[in-house]
Amino acid sequence: MNAFTILLTGYSGAGKTTIAMELQKEFLRRSMPVELLDGDVIRKNLSFDLDFSRESRFSNAKRTGFLSGLLSRNGINVIVSMIAPYSECRDAIRHQVKNYKEVYVKCPIDICEKRDVKGLYQKVRDGRIEHFTGISDPYEVPICPDVVCKTNKETVVVSVAKILKNLGMQTMIRKEIAYPSLFYTDPEAS
95 phi/psi in degrees, rounded to 5: -70, -10
Which of these, 137, 179, 151, lies nearest to 22 by C-alpha position? 151
Rounded to a whole number of angstroms, the minimum distance from the CB of residue 66 to its own copies is 4
Q: Report in angstroms the alpha-carbon separations of 131 from 67, 93, 136.
A: 25, 21, 6
User: DSSP letter string over 125-170?
Assistant: HTT---S-BTTTB-----SS-SEEEETTTS-HHHHHHHHHHHHTPP
Q: Which stretch binds its own copies (CB under 8 A): 21-29, 60-68, 137-145, 172-180?
A: 60-68
Q: Under the criterion CB under 8 A, does residue 45 sit at the interface with its own copies?
A: yes
Q: Under the criterion CB under 8 A, does residue 157 sit at the interface with its own copies?
A: no
Contact 177, 124 (CB under 8 A): no
# chain residues binding its own copies, by CB under 8 A: 17
Q: Which stretch binds its own copies (CB under 8 A): 64-72, 99-107, 137-145, 164-172?
A: 64-72
Rounded to a whole number of angstroms, the minimum distance from the CB of residue 98 to its own copies is 16
Which residue in 18, 21, 22, 35 binds its own copies (CB under 8 A)? 35
Rounded to a whole number of angstroms, the minimum distance from the CB of residue 151 to its own copies is 27
Q: Under the criterion CB under 8 A, does residue 136 sit at the interface with its own copies?
A: no
Nearer to its own copies, 16 or 62 (CB): 62
Contact 36, 20 (CB under 8 A): yes
Q: Under the criterion CB under 8 A, does residue 49 sit at the interface with its own copies?
A: yes
Nearer to its own copies, 75 or 138 (CB): 75
- In the chain, the amino acid numbered 71 is L
Q: Under the criterion CB under 8 A, does residue 171 sit at the interface with its own copies?
A: no
Count CB neighbours of 153 within 10 A. Answer: 12
Rounded to a whole number of angstroms, the minimum distance from the CB of residue 67 to its own copies is 6
| Residue 4: strand, helix, or coil | strand
Which residues of this protein are in contact with its own copies, per CB under 8 A?
33, 35, 45-46, 48-50, 59, 62-63, 66-67, 70-71, 74-76
